[in-house]
A and B are shown apart, each in its own frame.
Chain A
Amino acid sequence: MSDSVALTTVAAPVSGPGTVLVLGVTSAIARAVAAEFARHGHDLIVASRDIEETNAIASDLAVRHGVRVVAKLFEAEAFGTHAAFVDECVRDAAVLDGVVIAFGFMDEQSVAQAKFDVARRTVDVNVAAVMSVCERFAPHLERARRGFIAGVSSVAGDRGRQSNYIYGASKAAMSAYLQGLRNRLHAARVHVATIKPGFVDTKMTWGLPLPGPLVATPERAARDIYHAIAAKKDVTYVPWFWRYIMLIIRAVPEWQFKKMKM
């Protein structure tokens, strides 16, 4: 794959694929998305709050795909560090193609209900940190008049349900935020992609009694996400059929929905 990329760039004056930044790379989906970009010849900057795991993932991507991968520490809740982090990433990436926001936080609903600290952390990570990071990257991309920001939100944000509404509310806020950002950056030809995964076979869904066909592998989800970004799709459900599942769930009238156990 990468051979053919190298061959086509010989004649073309424009450079090949640039660098993609993946934040929260220790999630199984994010790691697979990073691998998908690496397979397509992109260099990577990968980051998470666990530098040991991030280093292992960076080595893996570099060994398997032969691209340049830099590992960085990124702490979503350490808001004070974000400005320096973003500047460093922009400096390290010769050509920044885009940013994948894949960090997130979820605890059990019952815990988030009982402990405000947990609810607050859910919002800090899934909403405030997303804003903090995106608002700092946006001017760079605007100036370059190219690139993308892809945010991994969730189908949980499409409708509040008793089983998951604190996490759901944070993801609803994230989706609305990305919507507005997309509107703003459109003029600068910067694309904003909202990704809404359903069930993916990760730590989050491990052991849940889910019907097999509804659960996607992280690799399958990553291919869909890569193609959504490459095709400049605005809102993408992963896998695709979740769009229709959520269409039905959103269509239930509220007077009926509130009586349901979901």
Chain B
Amino acid sequence: MPAFVKQNIAGWGGWPRVECAVYRPEKRRALAEAIACGDWPHYIARGLGRSYGDAAVNPGGGVINTTRLDRMLSFDEQAGVLECEAGVSLEDILETFVPRGWFLPVTPGTKFVTVGGAIANDVHGKNHHVDGSFGEHVLRFTLLTPNGDILPCSPSENDDVFWATVGGVGLTGVILTAAIRLQPISSAYIKVDYRRCANIDAALAAIRETDDAYKYSVAWVDCLSRGAKLGRSVLMSGDHIAGRDLPVQYGHALTIPKKFQPNVPFNLPGFLLNPLFIGTFNSLFYAVHPSKQGQIVDYDSYFYPLDKIHNWNRGYGKDGFSQYQATFPHSGVEGLVKLLEKLSASGRASFLAVLKRMGPGSKGLLSHPIDGWTLTLDIPVKGGLMPFLHECDDLVAQYGGRLYTAKDATTRAEVFAAMYPRLGEFQAIKAKLDPAGKLSSRLARRCGIVEGPVGP
């Protein structure tokens, strides 16, 4: 019998926090039984819980934690293809394969996500402008469909289900196993060039100019600065450094030194999040990053600076925060500047924001990335946030932009439909795979991907 237990759970942003019935199967058969048991009207799979909003919470239904279904099944040393269960984390993959000379094809800003979550949100990273999103490096996966079948999917087999599942936030089935192509590396280090940009226009220009020369690129933006300094940034562009080019003092090229990992043991008080404190932090960040070339940084520090502080989300206090990520097409870049102006003027302090140029999107029907620009920031949850975010949503939609399901907790259904024009195609495939509506989440109902009340 699957043992569902009532728990109050939230996404990484800590808001909204809702009661769900959670079960953590340790065997594949137990996972299938949990969905078949009918104890709850609907279910959603949840990995490491790093989606910020409500993609993996399901009030009034079941949540199936997949983290114990995390077996690596095979590795092809020639092709670099790893076949594993969906609960395997990116951290596990890095720990196992970096020392053997392989790296993730695409990684988001945290390694504490599962392979299943990376596919379901079609995550992207600092190399999106070159390599696209995670789903484009998945050769195939097996999907446990809502009626209990195990469906093999790839870009050439059941391709409609494949591209509905890539970015499909868990609504087409539960991914059981996936084959991913890793990329070869000869060192665990990245060579980074830093460029200071005095404001948002300078940042956009610098990215346009230099992006093609680098595999990885991202700019950290001080979104509290205003006027002529609005959007002053530090652009960080990097490439894997070849093992033979790594100076000898780094020792073995494929291993990096173990680092101390501090923890935030409890929620910090909210008053720390005042504009003065955050403004000072952001200014300091700008000050300590002058333009310089060829800095050698280990992959952990380059890709996962926040992972070094366990539970960093508690820094935003018990009310949590909303992470807001909007991507605009090239034609709508003015909207991005307007959004930045709006946030800066509102004084809703955020630590550094992130700006990145995106490459063309994948074929995922609900996949987030589109060719253009993306801006990401954290906004603490406090009075009047919801109406403010809804204004922001309207602005984003007006410029042809879209929000990201992995981050989102607030978008309304009508805005979501405008942002994702292929929603109808997705719903048609979903209706075929899941006529009884067995897979659902708070996000799915809130955004109108499926019908039903948001709460219980």
Contacts and interface: CB of A to CB of B under 8 A. Distances in A.
A40 to B, nearest CB: 16
Contact of B71 (A59, A202, A206): A59
B75 to A, nearest CB: 5
A55 to B, nearest CB: 9
Given A59-B74, A60-B73, A63-B74, A53 B3 contact: no
Interface string B17-30: 00000011011110
> By DSSP majority rule, is chain B's interface helix, strand, loop, or mixed?
mixed
Contacts of B82: 63
A108 to B, nearest CB: 11
B363 interface: no
B96 A64 contact: yes
Contacts of A5: none
Interface string A205-225: 011000000000000000000
B73 A53 contact: no
Interface in A28-67: 28, 50, 52-53, 56-57, 59-60, 63-64
Nearest to B95: A64
Contacts, number: 43
A207 B5 contact: yes
Interface residues of B, number: 20
A64 B28 CA distance: 20
A201 to B, nearest CB: 9
A203 interface: yes
A153 interface: no
Nearest to A57: B71
A63 B96 contact: yes
A63 B73 CA distance: 7
A57 B70 CA distance: 9
B72 interface: yes
B96 A59 contact: no
A56 B5 contact: no
Contacts of A206: 3, 5, 23-24
B318 interface: no
Nearest to A28: B26
A63 B72 contact: yes
Nearest to B5: A207
B68 interface: yes
Contacts of A50: 27
B85 interface: yes
A53 B29 CA distance: 9
B27 A60 contact: no
A26 interface: yes
A203 B26 contact: yes
B26 A56 contact: no
Contact of A26 (B3, B26, B74, B96): B26
A53 B5 contact: no
A26 B27 contact: yes
A59 B72 contact: yes
Nearest to A60: B71
Contacts of B92: 64
Interface string B175-189: 000000000000000
Interface in B83-97: 84-85, 92, 96
A56 B70 CA distance: 10
A155 B82 CA distance: 40
Most chain A beta carbons < 10 A, residue from B23, B68, B71: B71
A59 B88 CA distance: 13
Contacts of A60: 70-73
Given A206-B5, A207-B5, A53 B28 contact: yes
Nearest to A53: B27
Contacts of B26: 26, 28, 202-203
A202 B27 CA distance: 12
Contacts of A202: 26
A50 B84 CA distance: 19
Nearest to B177: A56
B24 A56 contact: no
Contacts of B75: 63
A202 B68 CA distance: 9
A59 B73 contact: yes
A50 B92 CA distance: 25
Contacts of A53: 27-29
Nearest to B99: A3
Interface of B: 3, 5, 23-24, 26-29, 68, 70-75, 82, 84-85, 92, 96
Given A57-B71, A63-B96, 4 more contacts: A52-B29, A203-B3, A206-B3, A206-B5
